[in-house]
Amino acid sequence: MPSAERSILEAKIAAKKAAIAALERKAEHIEIYDLRGISSVTDYFVICTGSTDVQCKAIQNHIAVELKKEAVYAYHVEGVTSGRWILMDYVDFVVHIFQPAVREFYGLERIWGDVECEEINEDNYES
């Protein structure tokens, strides 16, 4: 498999691992958006919701710990102090952890609503 294809596959697998880690910390409305060919910034967005700042921080921490086990590290993380919108930039994919009102206000789903989206929830994932 050519390295570019392997890199895309690895990014998708890592994004899914981030989504599953979010689910393990009871994140809701977890979605993976495939932005390949549409965005020059990243290949995937993982978007999820935590009900409080404490939960959002717990989700962020668990994602970081789980991906670190796979030697995947964030290039940049911001928003942890407030916990209202935490952004974890892994370059090939970006994780957005929102509190409900902030997620609704910014509406990233409306911007990227026409792209392929995979929902991750307890019904389609078993640990």
How high is the pLDDT of residue 125? Answer: 73
Higher pLDDT, 123 or 46: 46
What average pLDDT does this structure show over 23-52?
95
CATH superfamily of 3-118: Beta Polymerase, domain 2 (3.30.460.10)
Check: CB of residue 117 under 8 Å from CB of residue 33.
Answer: yes
In the chain, what are the domain boundaries? 3-118
Give CA torsion, residues 2, 8, 14, 16, to 10 deg.
-130
Check: CB of residue 77 under 8 Å from CB of residue 60.
Answer: yes
Q: Name 85's bridge partners.
A: 98
Secondary structure class of 31 (helix, strand, coil): strand
How high is the pLDDT of residue 5? Answer: 43
- pTM listed for this prediction: 0.91
> Does position 2 have pLDDT exceeding 70, yes or no?
no
How high is the pLDDT of residue 64? Answer: 98
Q: Residues of the chain with pLDDT > 70: what percent? A: 91
